[in-house]
Amino acid sequence: MEFIPDARNSDLPDWLTSEHDMGTSIMAVQFKDGVVMGADTRTSTGQYISNRASDKITPLHDRIFVCRSGSAADTQAIAGYVSFYLDLHANEIGELPLVRTSAALVQQLSYNNKAHLLAAMIIAGWDPHNGGEVWEVTLGGSRVKLPWTISGSGSTYIYGFCDSTYKPDMTKEECLQFVQKALTLAMDRDGSSGGFIRTVVISKSGVEYDTLIGNKHHKFSEV
């Protein structure tokens, strides 16, 4: 149900009348043995920061995660449906599902409901047939496989940095540094991104979670 202010509440602040939104910076990079995913943690409702420590990297299955940007409600709903379908699919095939299968499910839900959803998502992970993969599903439901990708409101500030910094066949440590530096730059420039940085490394050996709090962010300027 959509909340529409009437004459009695038209003077309410925007944080009471706006949709719960994730103006955000999200990113994923493929390396030889898996993928690195990262995201800021700020969630806003209008001009109000409603959560400064949200988790935008959501598990879809044991080795597959999604970075969410757009409407928090829309992206959580999609992630919930896909996670349910993947559990059924994994039981049917008797092994871990493919990353591309997860991306296809996200795309199908996004495209079929594109008039009603505000969701841009990055699906990444590891599977036993294709190794580490990164897929992006854009607003409207287009799907593309990439070696690295960024999305969210903060991404517009860091395309130049990412283009000049990325190189093929980076190690896990290089990818972590790449993601952390890129998200630090995005958070410095984008008012809708902030909080701290969460990272997830997914590979055959498992899943590694980490956080980078504000005083540990990379310093590019003293200003």
Enzyme catalytic residues: 24
* Phi, psi of 127, deg, nearest 5: -135, 160
Which residues, 6 or more positions from 90, have their beta carbon under 8 angstroms from its beta carbon?
Answer: 61, 96, 97
Please state whether 169 falls in left (phi above 0), alpha (psi between -120 and 50) or beta: left
Tokens 């699919």 sit on residue = 89
| Residue 76: Cβ-neighbour burial (10 angstroms; 0-12, 13-18, 19+) | middle
Contact present, 137 and 163 (Cβ < 8 Å): no
Closest to 23 measured CA to CA, from 49, 43, 39, 47: 43
Tokens 């300027």 sit on residue = 221
| Token pair of 102 as six digits | 């997860």
